[in-house]
Amino acid sequence: AQSVTQLDSHVSVSEGTPVLLRCNYSSSYSPSLFWYVQHPNKGLQLLLKYTSAATLVKGINGFEAEFKKSETSFHLTKPSAHMSDAAEYFCVVSVISRNTDKLIFGTGTRLQVFP
């Protein structure tokens, strides 16, 4: 069965330092993977997605993620954190299904950014 595991429920960084949010996936076929961000009391916004093209995926707001099949990982990184990056981040895998492919969400990682 397809699933994702977000390895950290909370990550704290100082402004200007690198961000690493870790995600491992399980899939019996080549997956489509996504990172979504949710700011407090807001809906979800797509950061980036991997759909079997380039393994290094660039997203919005300076984020990127690297698909590593050998490690079954899809970690999200940013070279320099900004205060506005404080939010909850979800790693998501898409599951092939009968009428529409479905999204399976990780449990989320809350990113805190300190000045």
For CA atoms 37, 42, 44, 45, give the dihedral sign. Answer: negative
**C-beta of 1 vs 56, nearer to another protein:** 1
**C-beta of 3 vs 14, nearer to another protein:** 3
**Cβ 95 to another protein shortest distance, Å:** 8
**C-beta of 28 vs 99, nearer to another protein:** 99
Q: CA-to-CA distance for 83 and 77, rounded, in angstroms? A: 15
Q: CA-to-CA distance for 27 and 52, rounded, in angstroms? A: 13
Length of the chain, in residues: 115
Site of tokens 């900004």: 82
Residues lying near another protein in the complex (CB under 8 A) are found at: 31-32, 34, 36, 42-46, 49, 51-52, 90, 94-96, 98-103, 105-108
**Cβ 77 to another protein shortest distance, Å:** 20
**Cβ 31 to another protein shortest distance, Å:** 8
- Quick one: which of 89, 84, 113 has its CA closest to 22? 89
**Cβ 45 to another protein shortest distance, Å:** 8
Tell me the residue type at 75.
H
